[in-house]
Structure 1
Amino acid sequence: MQLKPLKGQHHVSAITADAKRNYEFYTKTLGMRLVKKSINQDDTSVYHLFYADERGNPGTDLTFFELPYAGNTYPGTNSISTTSLRVPTDDSLDYWTKRFEEYQVDHDAISGHTGRKTLAFRDFEGQRLMLVSDENNEGVSGGVPWEKSTVPTEHAVYGLGPVMLTVAKAETSAQVLTQLLGYREVRSYRSLVEGQPDVRVFETGEGGTGAEVHLEERSDLPVERPGRGSVHHVAFRVENEEELRGWVSHLKQLRIPSSGFVERYYFKSLYFREANGILYELATDGPGFEEDEPFETLGERLALPPYFEEKREEIEAKLKPLDTKE
């Protein structure tokens, strides 16, 4: 079958050591909605929390695995080094600057160095984040802000923006993006680190902030040692299961090691790791997060895919209680 271009970001999954503080920061401070409180399906003793727009539309999810004993992150190469979040306008960045000062969130000044207005900041564990203005954006559409958010709709986070990959050898990752995944290299901008190459920008599908990967080569850094505040993997969107199975076959034909087809219930997935150590996931747009919870109460109870339901009592006994009811 002829594979269609990837549609852009699906989700980014990161690591936290404190689910309670993580929930408070991403819902109360950032105003995102917790659309699913579930478990890491590969380790059911820890939470997997999904923050997104009003219903977890594809391209809006920032997710966290809780690893209570995770140590500090030591930043470096082989990493997904910045996750950006889309906001509607340049004025939104002024709103967020004031909000970050009010909430004592570590942040930088508003910048235009990437070609768009951005505001870099860190959460309480040093997670490297950036707000990106969609004021002049054309391309894949964002999600729908939740009307009960703590942030006004006109300034709300409503999707994932570009992800930054920091690697030792950019050309290796560039070939994966263009020759395997079908991305287009569209522009570049100057690195903030003197003596380092320009950051290269790749896009897929309709392009725009929700479909870009920024590739940074750094010769001055060691390999990242991940921990709390680091990113585990980035996922890109495919239309449906048929398309995903096409990718499974494609990677198999190319003899690229992968997970093969993986059932995640809320979506279907495929994972593979490239030579620079970046873990990629391809994930389907559906079925979505309303398979087992109504829209009105998303994220309020521990949601378990059906194949874990018979172990609910055992799973809940291992988890520290986390109250997520509004």
Structure 2
Amino acid sequence: MIKRHHHISMYTKDLKKNNHFYTEVLGLRRVKVSVNQNDHSMYHVFYGDTLGTAGNDITYFDMPYVADRKPGTNAHHALGLLVKDETVFDYWQERLKKFGFESEKKEYYGRSVLEFRDADTLKLILFSAEGETLPPEWEPWTNNDIDEEYLILGMGPVQINVRDKDKMVDMLTGIFKYDIIEDTREHAILRAHKNRLTGEIIICEREGRIEVQGRGTIHHLAVQTDGADLHGVDEMLKARGYRTTGVIDRYYFESLYFREDNGVMFEIVGPDARGFTADTDESELGKKLDLPPALEEKRDEIESGLTPISDWTDQ
């Protein structure tokens, strides 16, 4: 029922540092600059591959006055990124260090990974994609100083910490038909498709205080349906007792939001999407403020309340 991850959205306190990290350090493309459609006073910036295809988009809401988050449970915890194989970890350790970011090779649920944090303290984990069949539409961004063999390829596993692991497992398997790859007392590994890291979720049972959102918080993980009608998904969720937003037209795609039993937010994206070139030529992606048609008539008002793009980018 679920194809793979679609995107993931976080909070940044310093958009200039955030933009530098994802475009200059990690070498991703700033593929779309828009606004939070629920709060037009803040930018919503997307980083990803050449066209910002599904499963690549790392997005941030610009919140300069947000406090530091207070880590805890019942929250998305870490984002995995895919690279060619483990041999590139040394390159990334050296590159990160050159830009002032420390990293650590470690074992992570039976796999060798490279772990580090971004400019907003979000935990990022590099996973080897060796042996993986990656989506054919993914096109890593090459207009950077990174050799092709070292490029970030797309999103991988996402870790979520919750007080009640089994409730989340039941929801993901019962409604969305995720496969259980591993299930222990303390953690479970689920995948949208058994042999694909591009839809893997690692659920860890953790006691303690609930995380207080702030800088670097993962607001939600978005997953994309594999042909399922969003209105039908909405009905299924409501029948199981979940409160949803109903289907929302974001112009670039349609989606709905809900919180599972631990309070963790998910976004479910429909199978069809216009994509980011719906309103911008490929060569101009990420260079100007793009607004969905419903907000275009408010452009002057919206732009007047935003920091000019030139103030936080190199353009």
What's the offset of the Cα at 1:139? 6.6
Alignment correspondent of 2:255: 269
Alignment correspondent of 2:12: 16
CA offsets 1:195-253 (integer angstroms, 9 cap, x no match): xx44210011364210100000112x31111101110000001246x622221232233
What's the offset of the Cα at 1:138? 4.9
Matches within 5 A, 1:1-326: 5-108=1-104, 110-138=105-133, 143-188=138-183, 197-205=185-193, 207-219=195-207, 221-239=208-226, 243-284=229-270, 285-323=272-310, 324=313
Q: Which stretch shifts more, 7-16 or 126-135?
A: 126-135
Amino acid at match of 2:267: E
Is the Cα contact below 8 Å between 1:39 and 1:47 reproduced in 2? yes
What SS does the aligned partner of 2:103 have? coil
**Distance between the aligned counterparts of 1:157 and 1:133, measured in 2?**
10
**Distance between the aligned counterparts of 2:30 and 2:95, measured in 1?**
20
TM-score, normalised with respect to structure 2:
0.94
User: Normalized per residue, which structure has more strand?
Assistant: 2
CA offsets 1:297-316 (integer angstroms, 9 cap, x no match): 10100000000000000000
Aligned length: 312
**Distance between the aligned counterparts of 1:275 and 1:141, measured in 2?**
35
Amino acid at match of 2:201: V
What stretches of structure 2 of length at least 5 have no aligned partner?
none
Task: Find runs of 4+ consecutive structure 1 residues off by over 6 angstroms.
Answer: none
Amino acid at match of 2:174: Q
What SS does the aligned partner of 2:257 have? strand
What SS does the aligned partner of 1:20 have? helix
What stretches of structure 1 of length at least 5 have no aligned partner?
190-196
**Distance between the aligned counterparts of 2:303 and 2:226, measured in 1?**
33
- Percent of aligned pairs with the same amino acid: 36
